[in-house]
Structure 1
Amino acid sequence: MSYRVFEQKKEVLQNANVHFTPPSQWLADEAKRSALLRDFPFTVIPYAIDQNVFKPMDRRAANAHLDLPDTNRPRLLFGSANVTDPRKGFRYFAEALTLLHQQNPALEAEILVFGKGRSFLFDELPYPIHHLGILTAQDDIVAAYNAADAMVVPSLEDNLPNTVIEAMACGTPVVGFRTGGIPEMIDHRENGYLADIGSTQQLADGLAFILTHQQPDVLRQNARQSAENRFSEDVIAKQHIELYIQLLTD
Structure 2
Amino acid sequence: MRPLVLSTSDIGGGAARAAYRLHQGLRSIGVPSQMLVREKSSGDRSVIAEKSLLTKLGPPSIGLPLRQYPQREQKLFSTQWFPDNIGRQVQKLDPDVVNLHWVCNGFVRIETLTQLNQPLVWTLQDMWPLTGGCHYSGSCDRYQDNCGNCPQLKSDRDNDLSRRVWKRKQKAWRDANLTVVTPSTWMSDCVKASSLFRNRRVETIPFCLDTQVYRPIDRTVARNILQLPQNKQLVLFGALSATADRRKGFHLLMPALQQLSQQGWRERVELVVFGAEKPNNPVDLGFNAHYLGSFSDDLSLSIVYSAADVMVVPSIYESFGQTASEALACGTPVVAFNATGPKDIVDSHHNGYLVKPYDIDDLARGIAWVLEDDDRHEKLCYQARQKAEVAFPLDRQARLYQSLFNQLIAEKKRG
TM-score by length of 1: 0.92
Contact in 2 for aligned 1:81/1:115 (Cα 8 Å): yes
Find the aligned partners of 1:120 and 1:157 in 2 and give their Cα distance: 28
Partner of 2:181: 21
Partner of 1:81: 240
Q: 1:241 aligns with which of 364, 387, 402?
A: 402
| CA apart distance, 1:155 | 0.7
Find the aligned partners of 1:28 and 1:15 in 2 and give their Cα distance: 21
| CA apart distance, 1:175 | 0.3
Contact in 2 for aligned 1:174/1:192 (Cα 8 Å): yes
Structure 1 range deviating more: 146-155 or 134-143: 134-143
What do residues 154-179 of structure 1 show as CA deviations (whole Å, max 9, x unaligned)?
11111111101110000101001122
| CA apart distance, 1:189 | 0.7
Find the aligned partners of 2:255 and 2:170 in 1 and give their Cα distance: 45
Q: 1:54 aligns with which of 214, 218, 235?
A: 214
Find the aligned partners of 2:281 and 2:332 in 1 and give their Cα distance: 25
The number of residues matched between the two structures is 249
The one-letter code of the counterpart of 1:242 is S
Q: Secondary structure at the match of 2:353?
A: strand
The one-letter code of the counterpart of 1:241 is Q
Contact in 2 for aligned 1:122/1:129 (Cα 8 Å): no
| CA apart distance, 1:246 | 4.4
- Seen in structure 2, the aligned counterparts of structure 1 residues 28 and 140 have a Cα distance that, compared at 3 Å, is same
| CA apart distance, 1:117 | 4.4
| CA apart distance, 1:119 | 5.4
Find the aligned partners of 1:2 and 1:140 in 2 and give their Cα distance: 40
1:210 aligns with 2:367: no
- Seen in structure 2, the aligned counterparts of structure 1 residues 137 and 245 have a Cα distance that, compared at 3 Å, is closer
Partner of 1:112: 272
Summarize the alignment of residues 37-186 of structure 1 with structure 2, pairs less than 5 Å apart: 37-71=197-231, 73-82=232-241, 83-105=243-265, 108-118=268-278, 122-186=282-346
Find the aligned partners of 1:194 and 1:107 in 2 and give their Cα distance: 25
- Seen in structure 2, the aligned counterparts of structure 1 residues 178 and 227 have a Cα distance that, compared at 3 Å, is same
Contact in 1 for aligned 2:277/2:291 (Cα 8 Å): no
Q: Secondary structure at the match of 2:348?
A: coil
| CA apart distance, 1:122 | 4.0
| CA apart distance, 1:33 | 1.4
Find the aligned partners of 1:48 and 1:37 in 2 and give their Cα distance: 24
CA RMSD of aligned residues (A): 2.0
Q: Secondary structure at the match of 2:260?
A: helix
The one-letter code of the counterpart of 2:184 is S
What do residues 175-225 of structure 1 show as CA deviations (whole Å, max 9, x unaligned)?
011221111111011001011222111001101111113322210111111
Find the aligned partners of 1:152 and 1:34 in 2 and give their Cα distance: 30
| CA apart distance, 1:249 | 6.1
- Seen in structure 2, the aligned counterparts of structure 1 residues 78 and 239 have a Cα distance that, compared at 3 Å, is same
Q: Which runs of 5+ in 2 are unaligned?
A: 1-160
The one-letter code of the counterpart of 2:252 is Y
What do residues 78-108 of structure 1 show as CA deviations (whole Å, max 9, x unaligned)?
0021122211111211111122222344761
- Seen in structure 2, the aligned counterparts of structure 1 residues 96 and 144 have a Cα distance that, compared at 3 Å, is same
Q: Secondary structure at the match of 1:20?
A: strand
Find the aligned partners of 1:85 and 1:119 in 2 and give their Cα distance: 14
- Seen in structure 2, the aligned counterparts of structure 1 residues 198 and 100 have a Cα distance that, compared at 3 Å, is same
Q: Secondary structure at the match of 1:76?
A: strand
| CA apart distance, 1:12 | 2.2
Higher percent of residues as helix: 1
1:230 aligns with 2:391: yes
Find the aligned partners of 2:252 and 2:216 in 1 and give their Cα distance: 28
Find the aligned partners of 1:9 and 1:134 in 2 and give their Cα distance: 35
What do residues 122-146 of structure 1 show as CA deviations (whole Å, max 9, x unaligned)?
4412111111112223222111101
TM-score by length of 2: 0.57
Find the aligned partners of 2:346 and 2:213 in 1 and give their Cα distance: 21
